Amino acid sequence: MRESRVIALAGVYQACALVHSIATEGRADSVAVESSLASLFRIDSDSAADAFGGLPGVRLGIEQLISSFSGDHQSVAVARLVLGVLRLERKLASRKQMLQQLREGIDSIQRQVDHLGVDHATVKVRLADLYSETLSQLKPRIVVHGNPTHLSDPKRVEQIRALLLAAIRAAVLWRQVGGSQWRLLLRRGEYTMLARGLLTRCTLDRG
């Protein structure tokens, strides 16, 4: 269960790191993007790792978590996004109607994923629209900082919103496996140690 919490939290870190990368650099790791978006459609996974298609699917998030918990100042912007996501997930938890709307929306988009693949532009547009219709209505909104050129590009904005939806999905998973912000504050060292072990296993899993 402790490892499940680290994996789920790494999922939040991964989606937020990808959002930050797109906002600041205009691009992001395509394999990690696909893993994060695919997690939206694995609602009933057998384990936290399975939600990302296995441990290697959340490797970037594990690296980001370790970096952030180790005090790397370059991770501050990503950590700020993560905290925003965790706060928003708490707001969402009390909105049963919105949760149902999200579930129905994901189920509807699943049909297109089956035909087009999760990384298709049409799928990202629909995920972005779902985020706009639901989570972006909650306060306080998640504010993404970056290069104005990238943040004014509709395709990049769609990708950012789709990934924020994936970040919230990972935050929900984190809460489901017993994650809490108190535990996060009290057990940073333990989380870091477990994450390092998971990162080693990622490398072994990839051969």
In the chain the domains, ranked by start, together with CATH numbers, are 2-205 (1.10.3890.10)
Q: Is the pLDDT of residue 205 over 80?
A: no
- For residue 73, the model assigns a pLDDT of 66
> pLDDT confidence of 183, banded at 50, 70, 90?
confident
Hey, what amino acid is at 197? Answer: G
Could you list the beta-strand ranges (E) of 38-133.
Answer: none
Mean pLDDT of 45-49: 87
Query: What's the longest Cα–Cα distance across the chain?
Result: 45
Lowest mean pLDDT among 16-30, 124-138, 157-171, 176-190: 176-190
pLDDT at 156: 96
Structure token digits, residue 50: 């399975």
Strand, coil or helix: 166? helix
The pTM (predicted TM-score) of the whole model is 0.94
Per the listing, tokens 């490797």 go with 59
- For all residues of the chain together, what is the average pLDDT? 91
Of 74, 87, 77, 78, nearest to 10 by C-alpha is 78
**Tens digits of residue pLDDT in 86-130:** 999 999 999 999 999 999 999 999 999 999 989 889 999 999 999
| 22, HSE (Cβ side, Cα atoms, 13 Å) | 25
